[in-house]
Structure 1
């Protein structure tokens, strides 16, 4: 398990290493990521500013409580809601960026496939296939955000448990969606992909969590997306035991 987790994380580093191979095509991958990142950051900032008033409005039943417990409860609600929104933003960022930047990331995928060698698929998945995948990713993000919000209300351990669950769920979703292009291009059915994910669950999780941690760095999401697409292509080939 630990070896596969580490191997997944190292695959992201190999994706960053692709900047040395073709910096031009990787640079193009920054454009859609920067646009989507700016929109989502604006949304989170707006939520953070309006959240205290929103929580007060949503919890009128706490108005009669002792001041300490009322403030503590509303602070907990605000933290949980913002954490759930952040989880949703992580997943939404990846889905929207892959949709908006489909032509850019297709070029990165093709360049990586060509550079690595072996059997290179002639065509990748269609644009609409990517859109469907992005919508599924957003739905999964909503479910994950709801799960994180629910766990966050557990007494004592809620905050830590929500953070860990959010990292695991988001990392898992990110890795699957990023690797989908390389797997779809090889004609794998849904059942085939699920079986592949089960066999390599820890490697996928290591890659996804490492990607998510890079997203937490200021502007890290923008800088990481091209490397994540390149690394996910290598990860898919590794899972399929291709050279």
Structure 2
């Protein structure tokens, strides 16, 4: 089976310059080889500065790699036609950590969710309105809240709005970039349950970028561990999730138990 999304030899360096002199390029990713299969849930785990966000920018085509390639359903992202690139944007959607910063505070919730529908589909205005109501219901929000502004929503509700927007085009891959890190533990559980239910209904794949192993156990089937831009471990996720790499064990040791011993 052809992977949904794959990376081969993915490497990224950034040039560093100052007013007085130039510096050697800083390598942030090194020789990443990775496949995301249709319908699977993959966690990308690592501490701050490990290269998680840089890897996602390469996988989504937001930046060009310094070396290597990214393929979507077997097609190199650099060689996609305009129509194929539009289809890629429909098929791959992202939810960010900062839900407040990810929306326009001057736009109502209905317009925010309808944004990808306007740009990536041929739905009429009435069809878009019906789709927005359907999406709000699917994430547990009253469709009447489409008339609210972001400032009238709680943090958990606004993150659900962002998820609804990401689901608007029926993506085959949903990327969650620390998307529940700013929520309290109860809301984290609710969002994880929501994503799990949506996966069962739609069969979409999920990439979950996080540093929290507790959330990985709840949502993911496979985990990749990054350290200093290198992939140091790839493991299946089970109830115990015993990581074997030095970095993986360090991340496990850093997670506090759910209840005091």
Between the two structures, name the one with larger relative contact order (CA 8 Å, sep ≥ 6).
1
Both proteins in one fold, TM over 0.5: no
Q: Where is the strand percentage greater, Structure 1 or Structure 2?
A: 2
Question: Normalising by the residue count of structure 2, what TM-score does the alignment of the two structures yield?
Answer: 0.26
Q: Where is the helix percentage greater, Structure 1 or Structure 2?
A: 1
Question: Normalising by the residue count of structure 1, what TM-score does the alignment of the two structures yield?
Answer: 0.27
